[in-house]
Amino acid sequence: MACLEPNAAACVLRGTDARESDVLGVAVGRGNGFHASALIPEWLALTMTVCRGVRGATTVDTDDRDEILKATTQLLALMIRRNDIQTSDVASAIFTVTKDLQSEFPALAARQLGWLEVPLLCSYEVSVERSLPRCIRILLHWNTDRSQSEIHHVYIRDAVKLRPDLNVVPSVDFEELEQWIQEHLRDDC
């Protein structure tokens, strides 16, 4: 069916044909000057699921396998709990470590919490002379209907220095957190 709308984005929303160049022109503000998002009804925009980034970081005292896994598990547990994240809504996760941490892949902590189907990636953080040592960072790609301002990023231990503006994590009862972690750990990872 041919598109009879003067705005190509309206054709896309109605499921009719529009030339790709028309849609791209609208999406970047060229062509007739409309942006595709302006045509989405408000009720639909309020219920749309989008992929949001959830950031977190922590540090460890030494390059020790158990310490890396414990710190990563605690950080991930806090990120999950502060944002009420369900594993099935996580598109992927990226874990980075500074080059002074080599004893374990931090993504193993996510596997141990049951994230068996979530794509995970580990990498080194860019090595900058003044960077925070022994630091583990996580970036979750989370499918949610929450707005960007409703996302709670989590920075704990010495990593609070990285983003003091986002350090709004309430005091953590680490005993209670460890109990929650133990309830969610898998034996087969």
CA distance 31 to 20: 12
> With contact defined as beta carbons under 8 Å apart, do 74 and 112 qualify?
no
Domains and CATH numbers, the chain: 8-47 (no CATH), 50-184 (3.30.1330.40)
> 12-67 pLDDT, tens per residue?
444 544 444 343 333 334 344 444 555 556 655 566 889 999 999 999 999 999 99
pLDDT given at position 165: 76
Residue 4 exposure: Cα atoms within 13 Å on the Cβ side: 1
Report the 10 Å Cβ neighbour count for 27.
16
How far is it, in rounded angstroms, from Cα 163 to Cα 154?
Answer: 9
Q: Is the pTM for the entire model greater than 0.85? A: no
Note whether 139 and 105 are within 8 A (CB).
no
Q: Give the model's pLDDT for residue 169.
A: 60
SS3 content of the chain, % helix, strand, coil (to 5): 40, 20, 40
* pLDDT value, residue 46: 60
pLDDT in tens, 105-158: 999 999 999 999 999 999 999 989 889 999 999 999 999 999 999 999 999 999
